[in-house]
Amino acid sequence: MSERTLVLIKPDGVKRGLIGDVIARVERKGLKVVAMDLRTLDAETAKAHYAEHAEKPFFGELVEFITSGPLVAMVLEGPRAIESFRALAGATDPVKAAPGTIRGDHALEIGENVVHGSDSPESAAREIKIFFPDRF
Protein backbone atom coordinates (compact mmCIF):
# COMPACT_ATOMS: atom_id res chain seq x y z
CA MET A 1 0.00 0.00 0.00
CA SER A 2 1.40 3.38 -1.00
CA GLU A 3 1.46 6.17 1.58
CA ARG A 4 2.92 9.66 1.97
CA THR A 5 5.25 11.15 4.56
CA LEU A 6 6.50 14.67 5.27
CA VAL A 7 10.28 14.98 5.40
CA LEU A 8 12.35 18.02 6.33
CA ILE A 9 16.03 18.53 5.60
CA LYS A 10 16.60 20.82 8.58
CA PRO A 11 18.64 24.06 8.52
CA ASP A 12 21.78 22.21 9.69
CA GLY A 13 21.48 19.78 6.76
CA VAL A 14 20.99 22.59 4.23
CA LYS A 15 23.88 24.64 5.69
CA ARG A 16 26.20 21.64 5.55
CA GLY A 17 25.37 20.84 1.92
CA LEU A 18 23.53 17.58 2.62
CA ILE A 19 20.46 18.14 0.41
CA GLY A 20 21.88 15.99 -2.38
CA ASP A 21 23.00 13.23 -0.01
CA VAL A 22 19.55 12.95 1.59
CA ILE A 23 17.69 13.00 -1.72
CA ALA A 24 20.09 10.44 -3.22
CA ARG A 25 19.37 8.03 -0.35
CA VAL A 26 15.62 8.58 -0.71
CA GLU A 27 15.70 7.91 -4.46
CA ARG A 28 18.08 4.96 -4.15
CA LYS A 29 15.61 3.41 -1.73
CA GLY A 30 12.81 3.82 -4.28
CA LEU A 31 10.75 6.46 -2.50
CA LYS A 32 9.33 9.10 -4.82
CA VAL A 33 9.61 12.85 -4.21
CA VAL A 34 6.13 14.19 -5.05
CA ALA A 35 6.51 17.74 -3.62
CA MET A 36 9.59 19.76 -2.62
CA ASP A 37 10.28 23.33 -1.51
CA LEU A 38 13.19 25.30 0.00
CA ARG A 39 11.86 27.81 2.53
CA THR A 40 12.54 29.50 5.86
CA LEU A 41 9.81 28.82 8.41
CA ASP A 42 8.19 31.54 10.49
CA ALA A 43 7.73 30.83 14.22
CA GLU A 44 3.99 30.27 13.83
CA THR A 45 4.42 27.46 11.28
CA ALA A 46 7.26 25.93 13.31
CA LYS A 47 5.10 25.88 16.45
CA ALA A 48 2.21 24.30 14.54
CA HIS A 49 4.49 21.63 13.09
CA TYR A 50 5.98 20.78 16.51
CA ALA A 51 2.72 21.27 18.50
CA GLU A 52 3.06 17.87 20.19
CA HIS A 53 6.32 19.06 21.79
CA ALA A 54 4.89 22.37 23.08
CA GLU A 55 5.28 21.36 26.73
CA LYS A 56 8.80 19.95 26.38
CA PRO A 57 11.70 21.86 27.97
CA PHE A 58 13.50 22.03 24.61
CA PHE A 59 10.52 23.49 22.68
CA GLY A 60 11.93 27.04 22.52
CA GLU A 61 15.28 25.75 21.30
CA LEU A 62 13.55 23.53 18.75
CA VAL A 63 11.53 26.41 17.27
CA GLU A 64 14.57 28.70 17.22
CA PHE A 65 16.66 26.09 15.42
CA ILE A 66 14.07 25.07 12.82
CA THR A 67 13.47 28.76 11.91
CA SER A 68 17.20 29.62 11.86
CA GLY A 69 17.66 29.26 8.10
CA PRO A 70 16.27 27.65 4.98
CA LEU A 71 15.08 24.06 5.13
CA VAL A 72 13.85 21.68 2.45
CA ALA A 73 10.32 20.35 2.91
CA MET A 74 9.38 17.28 0.86
CA VAL A 75 6.53 14.87 0.52
CA LEU A 76 7.67 11.32 -0.21
CA GLU A 77 5.44 8.60 -1.56
CA GLY A 78 5.88 4.84 -1.64
CA PRO A 79 5.05 1.57 0.09
CA ARG A 80 5.21 2.15 3.86
CA ALA A 81 6.91 5.50 3.17
CA ILE A 82 6.69 6.63 6.82
CA GLU A 83 8.53 3.65 8.27
CA SER A 84 10.81 3.44 5.26
CA PHE A 85 12.08 7.00 5.64
CA ARG A 86 12.46 6.66 9.42
CA ALA A 87 14.67 3.63 8.80
CA LEU A 88 16.82 5.68 6.40
CA ALA A 89 17.01 8.54 8.95
CA GLY A 90 18.05 6.38 11.92
CA ALA A 91 17.33 7.02 15.60
CA THR A 92 16.39 10.56 16.70
CA ASP A 93 19.52 10.69 18.89
CA PRO A 94 22.31 10.65 16.28
CA VAL A 95 24.73 8.97 18.71
CA LYS A 96 22.35 5.99 18.82
CA ALA A 97 21.59 6.09 15.09
CA ALA A 98 23.24 3.21 13.25
CA PRO A 99 26.13 3.98 10.91
CA GLY A 100 24.76 3.88 7.37
CA THR A 101 21.71 5.94 8.30
CA ILE A 102 21.42 9.69 7.59
CA ARG A 103 21.78 10.69 11.26
CA GLY A 104 24.25 7.89 12.00
CA ASP A 105 26.53 9.14 9.23
CA HIS A 106 26.11 12.90 9.60
CA ALA A 107 25.12 14.05 13.08
CA LEU A 108 26.13 14.05 16.75
CA GLU A 109 23.54 16.19 18.53
CA ILE A 110 19.86 15.43 19.11
CA GLY A 111 18.81 19.01 18.37
CA GLU A 112 20.69 19.17 15.07
CA ASN A 113 19.87 15.82 13.56
CA VAL A 114 19.70 16.78 9.85
CA VAL A 115 16.24 15.44 9.00
CA HIS A 116 12.68 15.05 10.27
CA GLY A 117 10.22 12.40 9.13
CA SER A 118 6.57 12.00 10.16
CA ASP A 119 6.13 9.30 12.79
CA SER A 120 2.60 8.03 12.00
CA PRO A 121 -0.09 8.28 9.30
CA GLU A 122 -1.93 10.84 11.47
CA SER A 123 1.20 13.01 11.84
CA ALA A 124 1.96 12.67 8.13
CA ALA A 125 -1.52 13.91 7.15
CA ARG A 126 -1.33 16.79 9.64
CA GLU A 127 2.22 17.83 8.66
CA ILE A 128 1.63 17.57 4.90
CA LYS A 129 -1.35 19.91 5.32
CA ILE A 130 0.84 22.44 7.19
CA PHE A 131 3.60 22.47 4.57
CA PHE A 132 1.66 21.87 1.35
CA PRO A 133 -1.92 22.94 2.11
CA ASP A 134 -3.12 23.05 -1.51
CA ARG A 135 -1.24 20.16 -3.05
CA PHE A 136 -2.85 16.94 -1.83
Q: Show which residues are catalytic.
A: 116
Residue 58 vs 136, nearer CB to ligand CMP? 58
Residue 31 vs 66, nearer CB to ligand CMP? 66
Helix or strand run (H / E) with residue 3: strand 2-9
Residue selected from 58, 64, 98, 135 as contacting ligand CMP according to rule CB under 6 A: 58
Q: Return the SS3 of 38.
A: strand
Contacts of 75 (CB under 8 A, 6+ apart): 4, 5, 6, 7, 33, 34, 35, 36, 128, 131, 132, 135, 136
Q: Return the SS3 of 98.
A: coil
- How far CA 31 is from CA of 14, 51, 68, 77, 112, in Å, comes to 20, 27, 28, 6, 24
Is 110 a binding residue for ligand CMP by CB under 6 A? The answer is yes
Residue selected from 37, 44, 61, 64 as contacting ligand CMP according to rule CB under 6 A: 61
Q: Minimal distance in Å, beta carbon 80 to ligand CMP?
A: 18
Is 104 a binding residue for ligand CMP by CB under 6 A? The answer is no
Residue selected from 113, 114, 127, 132 as contacting ligand CMP according to rule CB under 6 A: 113
- How far CA 85 is from CA of 9, 24, 38, 54, in Å, comes to 12, 12, 19, 24
Residue selected from 11, 74, 116, 124 as contacting ligand CMP according to rule CB under 6 A: 116
Which residues ranging from 2 to 21 are in contact with ligand CMP (CB under 6 A)? none
Q: Which residues bind ligand CMP (CB under 6 A)?
A: 53, 58, 61-62, 92, 110-111, 113, 116
